[in-house]
Amino acid sequence: METKTYTLKHPVPLPAKAGEAAGVQLTSITFRRPKAKDLVSIEKAAKDGFAAAQVAIIAALGDIPQEVAAELDAEDYEAAAGFADGFFPKASTPSTDGASK
């Protein structure tokens, strides 16, 4: 499976899971090619605007919770969104109006 990894410039604290110590940080995101189910969740998020769709893309293709993706520093958000967008053919990138670009 094709993947691309982006190293965060500003790591994000991860919520502690049961039995794990607090203080673990997300330092990189490995993106994978989208699946049909990802496209469905991204399309739903697009109804809430462009930024919501980008967060959904980062979360889906990076296999991280949307809550964590939403906490990315703006610099990392922009770069990570660009990384993830690279997996979409230009003709089918989701837009905020529900149409394809």
Domain locations along the chain: 3-92
Identify the band that residue 24 occupies on the pLDDT scale cut at 50, 70 and 90: confident
Q: Which carries the bigger pLDDT value, residue 14 or residue 7?
A: 7
Q: For 23-33, what is the mean pLDDT?
A: 93
Dihedral sign from CA coordinates of 51, 92, 1, 37: positive
Rounded Cα distance, 12 and 67, in Å: 11
Specify the pTM: 0.80
- Is pLDDT above 70 for 18? no
- Is pLDDT above 90 for 31? yes
Identify the band that residue 23 occupies on the pLDDT scale cut at 50, 70 and 90: confident
